[in-house]
Structure 1
Amino acid sequence: MSSSQPRFTVGICGGGVSGLCIAVALSRCPDIEVHVYEAANSFKEIGAGVMIWGRAWRALSLLGLDQVFREVAGAPADGSADPQFGFDYRRSDLGSEGFLIHRHVLPYPGHNFHRAHFLDALADLLPAGVAHLGKRLVSFTYKNTPTGQVGLHFVDGTSATCDVLLGCDGIRSVVRRCMFEGLARDGRPQLTQYIEPMWTGEILYRCLIPSEELPLKNGGKHPVLQRPIIYCGNNKHFFGYSIGRQKWVNVGGFVTTPGRRGDTWEEPWVSECSVQEVVESFAGWERDLQDIIKCVERPMKWAVHQVKPLPFFAHRHVALVGDAAHAMTTHQASGAEQAIEDACVLAALLSHSSVTQANLSQALKAYERVRLPIAQHVMAVSAATGELYEMRNGLNGDGYSAWISELKTLWRWVAGEDLKTEINKALVMTRDIGGTRFQYKL
C-alpha cells in the first residue's frame, strides 16, 4: 500500500477464487487500499477441482497470474498446455462395456488444478495487511457520507468502512441477502425471491481418489488419468479427471430426480454418506466406471443448489461477484471460470485511473452490464448440459448425431468475445452512464 491518500478503499467479503483474484490484482495498485475479509481462519473452498481453459486462462493472463498457475499446474517449461484438452463422453448405463459417444476437443488448451493449490498460490501473493481472517460478515450499511461509503459489521462485534464492497462470499452470500433485503424494505418486495439459493433436484456424490489406486487398463493407466471423462446415462452421470499434477482423481456422480427442481431441500446441503449408497446408485454401469467406484472412500453427498438468475449484480457501491452473483451447476465445470472472468473485469475497471470515488457506482453498473448476460448464459447452458448428459432431451437416437451437435452448441460460448474487448466496453459504459469524459482504451 502507498503511504499517500488512496484513491478509494475496496472491501472484499470472501477469500475464494474471485475474491483473491481481485485482491491480488488491486493490491498492485499503489493508489487503491484493499482488504479481504474471510469468515474462516484460513483461505479455503468446498470442492476439489478447478478446470481452467479458454476465456478464464485469458483472464488470468490479463491479471498477470498466468505464469504463476502454469507452475502450479506443473505445465511444461515452455508454459504450454495439453493441445488435446477436452472430454470423452461415454454411454455407460447399458451394460458392462459402454461405448464412446464423442471425444470433444476444445479449441484452446487448458489445465486442471487442485482447488487448495489454486487458492494457496493466490494467498501467497497477497501483501501483508490485506487479509483479515475470522471476519464473518453480519450485515453492511450505507453510511451518510458525501462519497457513499459502506459500513461492514462482523460477528465478533468489530466493524470496518470501505468505499466499495465486493460480495465474493459464495452461494449463501450475506452481501446478497443484505442487498436484496434492504431493497425489499425500500419498496421492492419482489426481490426477496432472489435471496435464497434453489435446489436443482440433483444429488452429487464426491470423492478424491489417489491416482495410484486406480487399476491399470490394458497395460497402461486407467482412461480417466488420460483425459477427463463424462460417463452418461438416464437421469445420472459421473465425471472424473486428474488434478494436483495427476496425483489425485476428482470424481463425482450425479443422480437427478426430474420434476423436483425448485423444491425445498430440508437436510444439510453437504453430508457424509456410505460407499454403498454410491455403489447402488451406479450399479450395472460400465466396467471402467466400476473400477473407479471400487476406489471410493469417505464420499460426501451434496444437494446441488444454484442462485436464481438475478435481475442485477450491483447497487450503489456494492457488487456481487462469482457464486454470490451466479452460482451454477457444475456440468461445464465453469463456476470458477466465471468467477475469474468477473474478477478480471472488476479489477480492470477499478484499477483504471479514470475510476474515482465519484463514479464508483457507474463502474459497478458497467461491470454488471458486461458480466450479467454472459454469466447467466453460462448458467443456463450448464443446466442444459446436465440435461444432455442424462439423456432427458430426446437427442440420443440416430447414432447420437443430434446429441453431439447439441453438445458442440452448448460449448460454443467459450470461444466467444475477447475479454479485453469486454473490459473496454465496460470502461466506455462507465463513461456513458456517468456522463463523464475520460480515456478508456487499455
Structure 2
Amino acid sequence: MARVAVIGSGIGGLSAAIALRAKGFEVDVYDQASELSEIGAGVSLGGSGMRVLDALGLGPAVREASANLHRIEFHHWLSGDIFYQHPMGSWYEQRFGGPFLGIHRADFHQILLSAYGDKPHLGHRCVALRESPDGVDLEFANGSTTHADVVVGADGLRSTVRAHVGEPDEAVFSAMSCFRGLVPVDRVPGGDRFGLTFFLGPGRHLVAYPVRGGELINFVAYVPDPEWTQESWSARCAPEDAVAAFHGWNPVVTTLLANAVETGRWALYDREPLRTWSTGRVTLLGDAAHPMLPHAGQGTNQAIEDAAALATYLESDLPLHEALQRYERLRKPRTRQIQLGSRANATCFQVPDGPPADERNARLQGLPQMVGWIHEYDVYAAMETGSEA
C-alpha cells in the first residue's frame, strides 16, 4: 500500500491517519508543535461525525468521555427567558442516526492518539513540498526530510500545504473575537441542567454546554472586536475581561464567565472557499481545506467526514489523481455551504431586540428542519450513491 504523510496532528489529521491505517496504508503524522498539551476547550460531535467514529470503532470511548446534550435552548440575553427549545437526546439520535455530544478537546485528542497507536513526529513544521511522478518530497524547518506517495494537509487555517495546492490567499478576519473557557458545573447556576445552551443579545452571544460527563461547562462567548487580531489557541486573558464584555447581561452569563478556571481569547478567521483542494499527490482536509467560523459548530464533524471519504477513495481501484478528485468533488460543495452558512449565523445570533429579534426567533421554530441536512448526512452512503455535486 502507498505511504501517506499527514501534516498536522489535530482532530482532522489523526482521524485521517486512523481511517487510512484501517484501510492498510502506511501512515506517518507530522506536527510543528514540540509537545502535545491540553490546549483548547470543548467541541461538539453530531450524528454525521459520530457515524464515522462508530465505523472506526471509536464510538464507545467517545461516548464515555462526553456529555450527551439532551436539549437545545435559546435564552434572552437580559431576562434569561427561553424563547425556543427542542429536545435532543434520544430524539436527536433517532432522527439523525447518532448522538449529539459535548467533549473536551483534550479528551477527544487523547482517544484519537491512542487509536492511532504511534506518536506523531513533533517539532516538524513543513516548509516545502516537491511533487514528482514518483511521489512527494517534504522538507521541515528542523532540516529533516521525508518522502511519501501521498500527502494530506491537515495543518489548519495557516496551512503550508494549502499554499502548495491552491492560489495564494489570505485569512479573512471576521472582526470578532471569542472568549473560551471551562467552569466546574457546581459554579454555574443551573449548570446540572445545561444542554446546548445559547444566550443571544445585541452584538454578542454565548454558547455553553457540558463536557467530561457533565463535570465541566464549556463556554464560547462572541464579541465584535476589530482590534483583537491574535488567532491563537494559547492566548489567555483574565476572566474579568470576559465579564466586562458582557456587563449587564443575565446573572447566569456573568457568573459563568467569572468562574472560569482559565479563559482563552482569540480572533476568529476563516478563508474564502478554494476552487481546488488537490494536485496529483497532495490534498487538503479539515481547516486546511475549508476553515470555518464556529457559528455552526461543524468544524470538527466536517474534518471527520473528510477523513472517512479520503480513506475510502484512496483505497479504491481508481488512479491516485482520480481518487483525490473524487474526494474533492464529494466534499467541496457540502463544506462550502457550511462555511458560508457559518458566517451568516453570527449576524443571526446577534441582532438587536425588537422586530429583528422577533423575526429571528420566529425562524428558529423551524430549526430542526433548517439544519437537518447537516446532521443527517451519511458520508458512506453519499460515496456509495455517487452523490457528488
Give your verdict on TM over 0.5.
yes
Unaligned 5+ runs, structure 1: 1-6, 75-81, 181-190, 216-221, 430-442
Q: 123, 128, 151: which one pairs with 2:137? A: 151
Hey, what's the Cα distance between the residues in 2 that align with 1:409 and 1:380? 18
In the TM superposition, what whole-angstrom CA distance separates every residue of 1:192-238 from its partner, at most 9, and x where no partner exists? 2x2x21111111011111223334xxxxxx14653121100011001
In the TM superposition, what whole-angstrom CA distance separates every residue of 1:406-433 from its partner, at most 9, and x where no partner exists? x44542322444222222256x98xxxx
Q: Aligned-pair distance for 1:324?
A: 0.5
Hey, what's the Cα distance between the residues in 2 that align with 1:268 and 1:330? 16
Q: Aligned-pair distance for 1:121?
A: 0.9
**1:327 equivalent in structure 2:** 291
Hey, what's the Cα distance between the residues in 2 that align with 1:126 and 1:35? 10
1:104 maps onto 2:66 in alignment: no
**2:58 equivalent in structure 1:** 65
1:17 maps onto 2:11 in alignment: yes
**2:112 equivalent in structure 1:** 122
Distance 1:225 1:44, change over 3 A: farther
Distance 1:45 1:388, change over 3 A: farther
**1:188 equivalent in structure 2:** none
In the TM superposition, what whole-angstrom CA distance separates every residue of 1:346-378 from its partner, at most 9, and x where no partner exists? 1222233x24xxx11111111110101111111
Distance 1:53 1:135, change over 3 A: same
Alignment of 1:129-144 (within 5 A): 131-143=120-132
Distance 1:35 1:369, change over 3 A: same
SS at match of 2:249: coil
**1:371 equivalent in structure 2:** 331
Alignment of 1:172-187 (within 5 A): 172-180=158-166
Q: Aligned-pair distance for 1:288?
A: 1.7
The residue identity in structure 2 corresponding to 1:401 is A
The residue identity in structure 1 corresponding to 2:148 is C
**Aligned pairs, number:** 377
Hey, what's the Cα distance between the residues in 1 that align with 2:269 and 2:101? 26
Hey, what's the Cα distance between the residues in 1 that align with 2:252 and 2:375? 32
Aligned partners of 2:200 and 2:350 also within 8 Å: yes
Hey, what's the Cα distance between the residues in 2 that align with 1:62 and 1:88? 30
Hey, what's the Cα distance between the residues in 1 that align with 2:360 and 2:322? 51
Hey, what's the Cα distance between the residues in 2 that align with 1:416 and 1:47? 27
In the TM superposition, what whole-angstrom CA distance separates every residue of 1:15-71 from its partner, at most 9, and x where no partner exists? 1111111111222344x2111112123445752112112111112123332233223
In the TM superposition, what whole-angstrom CA distance separates every residue of 1:262-321 from its partner, at most 9, and x where no partner exists? xxx784324333333212211111122122123135422211111221112112211110
Hey, what's the Cα distance between the residues in 2 that align with 1:266 and 1:386? 17
Distance 1:408 1:389, change over 3 A: farther
1:214 maps onto 2:155 in alignment: no
In the TM superposition, what whole-angstrom CA distance separates every residue of 1:362-409 from its partner, at most 9, and x where no partner exists? 11111110101111111122222222111269642269323434x445
Q: 8, 28, 31: which one pairs with 2:2? A: 8
Aligned partners of 1:381 and 1:410 also within 8 Å: no
TM-score normalised by length of structure 2: 0.89
* Larger-gyration structure (1/2): 1
1:87 maps onto 2:72 in alignment: yes
The residue identity in structure 1 corresponding to 2:114 is D
Q: Aligned-pair distance for 1:72?
A: 2.9
SS at match of 1:131: coil
The residue identity in structure 1 corresponding to 2:215 is K
**1:4 equivalent in structure 2:** none
TM-score normalised by length of structure 1: 0.79
Q: 52, 55, 66: which one pairs with 2:45? A: 52
**Identity among equivalent pairs (%):** 28
Aligned partners of 1:238 and 1:253 also within 8 Å: yes
**1:184 equivalent in structure 2:** none
Hey, what's the Cα distance between the residues in 2 that align with 1:382 and 1:303? 15
**1:282 equivalent in structure 2:** 246
Distance 1:370 1:205, change over 3 A: same
**2:96 equivalent in structure 1:** none
